[in-house]
């Protein structure tokens, strides 16, 4: 499209096929002419989806808004496979190379992913809370915001526990699972009964993929019901939310953990009901987060006095400097104001 930010695709063919391969949060498309001898050479594109990118198949005469790249069919009337990205956080680039800074895929390269994490625990990335480390694509390629909430919830791990503390315990479990006295069936049962965090980084995405494959309709490929049925924590009634140090919302139940941002307070649990939270309810919850309860504000002030204000990240904070005290209003005046308001006179009364 004229407003697309990606590069022009130098591939033109009257008849071609498209194949795809996913790795973590990237997807590689290969465009191949059906006439391999007389057609153009194959062209690879690697996509990142950002927050809102997706593919949609629709009539070419009814293109959706923000369809930034289109692949047309030869049928009559033609259809278009569109890369749709309303927020334009997604992108594509020419060539078949994956991003170098991304680690092994949690779905398709599980063993390599697991080894990459356990051998790298000295990295400063694991000094952060586990909820923030899980978004680091160098080690957790494919894990995003909803997956981190689901994984931590199932294991009852506070999201703001130190990542290294959580992951170093897996080394001991690894040794126990390699005990030569255990039979293969016992090892399998042990893994099934006591899955660890790295195993859930693989199995939880697979659950979502399997559910969507089973329930998806070719005409409604964005079947939200299949996704919603997999969720136990993310946007689920009864759960709370809290901003991490980068400002992203993490969903949780119970205590957040020792590394939770100072001055941030978990929002009240979502009301229990038949559906997930609505956009309007989210806005109301965000406004409530900016105005915490008075008791929480007092605790926050105490922390500020001891630790001093942090640079950056000012969400939910109050200024340390005290405002001048206001004169006490006599009780008779306060009563007069309340009476006037009830009568609808719009007057404040006089002392």
Q: What is the pLDDT of residue 254?
A: 87
The overall average pLDDT reported for the chain is 77
Model confidence pLDDT, tens digit, residues 318-351? 333 333 333 344 444 444 444 444 444 444 443 3
Any idea which of 21-25, 142-146, 170-174, 317-321 has the lowest mean pLDDT?
317-321
Mean pLDDT of 171-200: 70
CA distances from 178 to 24, 39, 185 (A): 28, 53, 13
Write the DSSP string, 200-244: HHHHHHHHHHHHHHHH-BTTB-S-HHHHHHH-SSTT-TT-EEEE-
Predicted pLDDT of residue 295: 34
Count CB atoms within 10 A of the CB of residue 234: 22
Per-residue pLDDT for 152 more than 70? yes
* Res 123: pLDDT: 96
Which position has the higher pLDDT, 143 or 290?
Answer: 143
Contacts of 90 (CB under 8 A, 6+ apart): 47, 48, 49, 50, 52, 53, 83
Could you give the domains of the chain? 16-94 (3.20.190.10), 110-272 (1.10.8.50)
How much is the pLDDT for 38? 85
Report d(CA 129, CA 39) in Å as an integer. 52
């Amino acid at each position: 499209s004229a407003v697309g930010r990606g590069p022009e695709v130098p591939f033109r063919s009257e008849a071609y096929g498209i194949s795809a391969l996913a790795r973590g949060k990237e997807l590689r498309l290969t465009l191949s002419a059906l006439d391999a001898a007389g057609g153009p050479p194959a062209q690879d594109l690697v996509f990142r989806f950002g927050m809102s990118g997706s593919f949609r198949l629709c009539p070419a005469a009814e293109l959706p808004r923000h369809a930034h790249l289109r692949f047309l069919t030869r049928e009559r009337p033609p259809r278009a496979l569109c890369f749709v990205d309303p927020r334009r956080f997604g992108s594509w680039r020419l060539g078949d190379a994956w991003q170098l800074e991304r680690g092994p895929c949690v779905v398709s390269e599980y063993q390599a992913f697991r080894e990459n994490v356990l051998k790298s625990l000295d990295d400063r990335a694991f000094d952060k809370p586990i909820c923030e480390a899980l978004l680091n694509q160098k080690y957790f390629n494919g894990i995003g915001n909803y997956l981190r909430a689901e994984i931590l919830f199932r294991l009852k791990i506070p999201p703001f526990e130190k990542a290294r503390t959580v992951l170093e315990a897996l080394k001991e479990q690894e040794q126990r699972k390699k005990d030569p006295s255990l039979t293969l069936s016992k090892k399998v049962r042990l893994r099934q009964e006591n899955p660890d965090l790295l195993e859930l980084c693989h199995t939880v995405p697979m659950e979502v993929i399997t559910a969507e494959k089973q329930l998806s309709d070719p005409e409604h490929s964005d079947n939200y019901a299949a996704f919603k049925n997999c969720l136990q924590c993310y946007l689920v009634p009864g759960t709370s939310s809290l901003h991490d140090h980068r400002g992203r919302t993490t969903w949780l139940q119970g205590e957040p953990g020792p590394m939770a941002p100072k001055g941030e307070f978990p929002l009240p649990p979502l009301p229990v009901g038949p559906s997930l939270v609505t956009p309007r309810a989210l806005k109301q919850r965000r406004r409530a987060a900016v105005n915490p309860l008075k008791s929480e504000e007092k605790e926050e002030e105490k922390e500020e006095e001891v630790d001093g204000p942090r640079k950056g990240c000012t969400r939910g904070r109050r200024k340390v400097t005290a405002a001048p005290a206001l004169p006490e209003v006599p009780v008779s005046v306060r009563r007069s104001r309340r009476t006037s308001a009830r009568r609808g006179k719009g007057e404040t009364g006089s002392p």
